[in-house]
Amino acid sequence: MSTITPVGQRFSSELTTLATLVDSERPGWTRRALSEFDIAGRDYARTLMKQAGLQTRVDGAGNVIGVLPGRLGGREIMLGSHTDTVDGGGRFDGITGVLGAIEVVRLLRENDIRLDHDLVIVVFFNEEPNDFGFFCVGSRAMTGLVDRTTLAATDTSGRSLAEALPDSGIDPEAFLDARYDFSKVTAFLELHIEQGPELERMGRQIGVVETITGINHFKALFTGRQDHAGTTPMDVRADAGCAAAGTVLAVESIAESGTNTRGTSGQIQFTPEAVNVVSANASVEGEFRGPEGSWLNEAQRRLTDAANQNADKRGVHVEMEWTTDDAPVPLHEPITSTIAEVADELGHSRATMFSGAGHDAGIIAAKTQVGMIFVPSHDGRSHCPEEFTELDDIVPGIEVLLQTVLRLDGATGSGATARSGGAQSR
């Protein structure tokens, strides 16, 4: 295997520039999808893609797509990740995979390596949950998983996704029509930070992802009765807030019942939200995650029961909706074993991993063979400003990404060709 070393300094300076394209009024690094900052982030990524020599376009769903034409044409290897963040997020989630993929393009061109396959880089639109109850929006549009119900979903102000998309330059009809032709894509790879503590704990450099977690999002709306907090006896109240609080605790205890299972109630709202008023309404939005579909189905059933019980015993009405029902996704063995072999040959220590985070790769896996490469997260922190990965930990991930592309290109074509001199050590 020829050694081609990524230029870490390029990655660092691009990471630093992206970190300036954020909402400075929010904590951490905030570049939420459907914001002006997200548009700026995807524009910047497109500029880098063009500078790297890719032919770029933006599809109907806001995904930035860049192509490095291959020698044979007609077949593609796709790499991608996202540049949007959660509110108060970090600098590395998604961005590592985008900048890493662009670095792979530069390394191929600088080393005069022409793949047989077209190499397609995608910056997916809106990977993180938006205010309309969806995540991995761009990859879902590419794989045909969006419809008019998606467009009709509303945020808390009653605005629909169809109304919000044009502000990001996305036409709702084009959004519905953004399916990608995956019949020509032989493999998809996503480089990502681990976002958890396992690699660091084990002292390993590379995570080879075997399964991406299933994710089930719920929204529970409780309707009780607004009353005076001082004069209304406890036994005649219909306190929507208490029913919601009981449901939050049920999420926690259900999640504690499995292996690698998680439950989070990340959004809760009481109305009218006054210290001396019994809540008339309450909403809880949250999620379960886990590696087994059967556990997730059982968790859904148990939480729906718990919400009903918490509501019934207080004379509160509840409406429970499961807004996302993504099953766990096993990644494809030929790709994961190639990543593992490549890591071994490069001398990078590795571990097989379960991903507790969701990824566009999990959506794309329905359409083509997918692999994910993880690099360590400092202290396992992510979705927070402290999210951090050393450059020295990222560079091996880019090396594995590049060499996996070369290996996959060779496995299904006649192999990458060097136009002049071949791959060099740098």
DSSP string, 4-72: ----HHHHHHHHHHHTTSS-TTSSSB---TTSHHHHHHHHHHHHHHHHTT-EEEE-TTS-EEEEE--SS
64-68 and 118-124 strand pairing: antiparallel
The item of ligand GLV, Mn ion, none sharing an interface with residue 358, based on CB under 5 to 8 Å by kind, is: ligand GLV
185-193 and 55-58 strand pairing: unpaired
The item of ligand GLV, Mn ion, none sharing an interface with residue 246, based on CB under 5 to 8 Å by kind, is: none
Stated as kind and residue range, the H or E segment containing 98 is: helix 95-110
User: Nearer to ligand GLV by C-beta: 195 or 310?
Assistant: 195
Number of residues forming the site for ligand GLV (CB under 6 A): 3
As a whole number of angstroms, the distance between CA 45 and CA 40 comes to: 9
Shortest spacing between CB 391 and Mn ion, in angstroms: 19
76 binds ligand GLV (CB under 6 A): no
How many residues would you count in the chain?
426
Shortest spacing between CB 187 and ligand GLV, in angstroms: 22
Shortest spacing between CB 358 and ligand GLV, in angstroms: 4
Of 263, 375, 321, 360, nearest to 33 (Cα)?
A: 360
User: Nearer to Mn ion by C-beta: 66 or 94?
Assistant: 94
As a whole number of angstroms, the distance between CA 86 and CA 89 comes to: 5
Give the Å distances, CA to CA, from 172 to 148, 218, 340, 346, 377.
9, 25, 41, 45, 37
6 binds ligand GLV (CB under 6 A): no
User: Nearer to Mn ion by C-beta: 38 or 93?
Assistant: 93
Shortest spacing between CB 4 and ligand GLV, in angstroms: 30
Binding mask 354-393 for ligand GLV (x = CB under 6 A): ---xx-----------------------------------
Q: What's the token pair of residue 17?
A: 């520039």
Shortest spacing between CB 289 and ligand GLV, in angstroms: 8
Q: What's the token pair of residue 127?
A: 């990977």
128 binds ligand GLV (CB under 6 A): yes
Annotated binding site for Zn(2+): 82, 93, 128, 192, 383
User: Nearer to ligand GLV by C-beta: 168 or 264?
Assistant: 264
Question: Minimal CB distance to ligand GLV: which residue?
Answer: 357
User: Nearer to ligand GLV by C-beta: 53 or 380?
Assistant: 380
User: Nearer to ligand GLV by C-beta: 116 or 128?
Assistant: 128
**Interface positions with Mn ion (CB under 5 A):** 93-94
As a whole number of angstroms, the distance between CA 80 and CA 127 comes to: 11
The item of Mn ion, ligand GLV, none sharing an interface with residue 286, based on CB under 5 to 8 Å by kind, is: none
Shortest spacing between CB 211 and ligand GLV, in angstroms: 14
User: Nearer to ligand GLV by C-beta: 211 or 403?
Assistant: 211
Shortest spacing between CB 285 and ligand GLV, in angstroms: 13
Taking the mean position of all CA atoms in its chain, how far away is CA 228? Answer: 44
Shortest spacing between CB 94 and Mn ion, in angstroms: 4
DSSP string, 142-183: HTT---HHHHH-B-TTS-BHHHHGGGGT--HHHHHT----GG
As a whole number of angstroms, the distance between CA 352 and CA 208 comes to: 5
Of 326, 266, 355, nearest to 134 (Cα)?
A: 326
User: Nearer to ligand GLV by C-beta: 6 or 89?
Assistant: 89
Q: What's the token pair of residue 349?
A: 């220590």
Residue written as token pair 């807004």: 323
As a whole number of angstroms, the distance between CA 30 and CA 14 comes to: 16
Question: Minimal CB distance to Mn ion: which residue?
Answer: 94
User: Nearer to Mn ion by C-beta: 93 or 409?
Assistant: 93
DSSP 8-state assignment for residue 316: -
- How many C-beta atoms surround the C-beta of residue 323 within 10 A? 15
Shortest spacing between CB 127 and ligand GLV, in angstroms: 6
- Provide the binding-site residues for ligand GLV, judged by CB under 6 A: 128, 357-358
